[in-house]
């Protein structure tokens, strides 16, 4: 299990699944019915996302090579939403809408393998 925390702000997702291969990145969260609280998807490499074939809104936290947040897109709407990660974005954490409320551009993400936490 992998969790993602924001330095100095605590855990924002405690069950982060990787989407680092071509097929898993292409599929993303399409066709899923929902994400549970604390659940997220880490898509990398990825500099932008679309919401086609999505059934629920999400928050997207884009980050660069140093895991520094480049952009936070909140409450992306299903079917019509699109988000660009900004300069240097190399990955994105997709999480339930509202889960990225305390994350800001410039924050440092900490990926922790085998750890669980609370926000």
CATH number at residue 55: 2.60.120.1140
User: What range does the domain containing 22 cover?
Assistant: 2-113
Q: Indicate whether 63 belongs to any domain.
A: yes
Q: Is residue 33 one of the residues assigned to a domain?
A: yes
Residue 119 is assigned to a structural domain of this protein: no
pLDDT tens digits for 52-68? Answer: 999 999 999 999 999 99
Q: What is the DSSP string of 72-92?
A: EEEEEPTTT-EEE--TT--EE
What digits encode the pLDDT tens for the residues 1-23? 799 999 999 999 999 999 999 99
Tokens of 70: 């480049």
Would you mind telling me the total number of residues written for the chain in this entry?
119
Strand partners, 13: 4
Is 8 domain-assigned?
Answer: yes
pLDDT at 26: 87
Residue 17 lies in a domain: yes
- First vs last C-alpha separation in the chain: 16
**Total domains in the fold of the chain:** 1
Could you read off the pLDDT of 72-102 as tens digits, one per residue? 999 999 998 899 999 999 999 999 999 999 9
**DSSP bridge pairs for 64:** none
């Amino acid at each position: 299990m992998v969790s993602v925390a924001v330095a100095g702000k605590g855990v924002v997702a405690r069950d982060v699944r990787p989407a680092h291969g071509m097929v898993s990145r292409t599929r993303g969260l399409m066709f899923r019915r929902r994400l549970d609280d604390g659940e997220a998807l880490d898509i990398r490499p990825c500099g932008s996302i679309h919401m086609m074939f999505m059934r629920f809104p999400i928050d997207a936290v884009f980050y660069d090579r140093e895991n520094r947040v480049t952009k936070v897109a909140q409450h992306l709407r299903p079917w019509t939403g699109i988000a660009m990660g900004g300069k240097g974005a190399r990955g994105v954490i997709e999480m339930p809408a509202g889960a990225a409320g305390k994350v800001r551009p410039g924050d440092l993400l900490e990926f922790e393998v085998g750890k669980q936490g609370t926000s």
